[in-house]
Amino acid sequence: MSLYQCEHCGCCENTALGHYWVHRVDAYDWTGIEGRKGMKLCSACAPAKFANGELTDNGEWHGQFERVFLPMGMFKTNRVGNLEHIETGSEDFRAYAIDRANAPSSEEQS
């Protein structure tokens, strides 16, 4: 399973559970979160509704695994699908976890 860093809140997410495949941006209702359109988002940061008004599975954390927040922009998905620290090459992303209080607030996330 490939992992990526949410481009909005910085948490670690799985490509199968979040909004990684951003090629269908017009399929969603971005009202109130327009600045996130086109980003790779975790389930909590992704739109809660489709453009036709139907609910998505997004808008809150999926709960399939612990939500781990990481410093923004310090990780990439490597060629084997793991999160890799850009400077060190380490795949131990949990070693870089930050307290949720240091993650962007909902006001900063809009």
Phi, psi torsion values for 83, nearest 5 degrees: -75, 135
Band the pLDDT of 109: cuts 50, 70, 90: very low
Q: How does pLDDT run across 77-106, given as a tens digit for each residue?
A: 999 999 999 999 999 999 999 987 766 654
- Cα 92 from Cα 32, distance rounded (Å): 34
Q: How does pLDDT run across 17-74, given as a tens digit for each residue?
A: 998 877 788 899 999 999 999 999 999 999 999 999 999 999 999 999 999 999 999 9
User: How far is Cα of residue 40 from the mean position of the Cα atoms in its chain?
Assistant: 6
Whether 4 shows a pLDDT value over 70: the answer reads yes
User: Any residues with CB less than 8 A from the CB of 81 and at least 6 apart, and which?
Assistant: 1, 2, 3, 15
User: Any residues with CB less than 8 A from the CB of 40 and at least 6 apart, and which?
Assistant: 4, 5, 6, 7, 18, 19, 20, 22
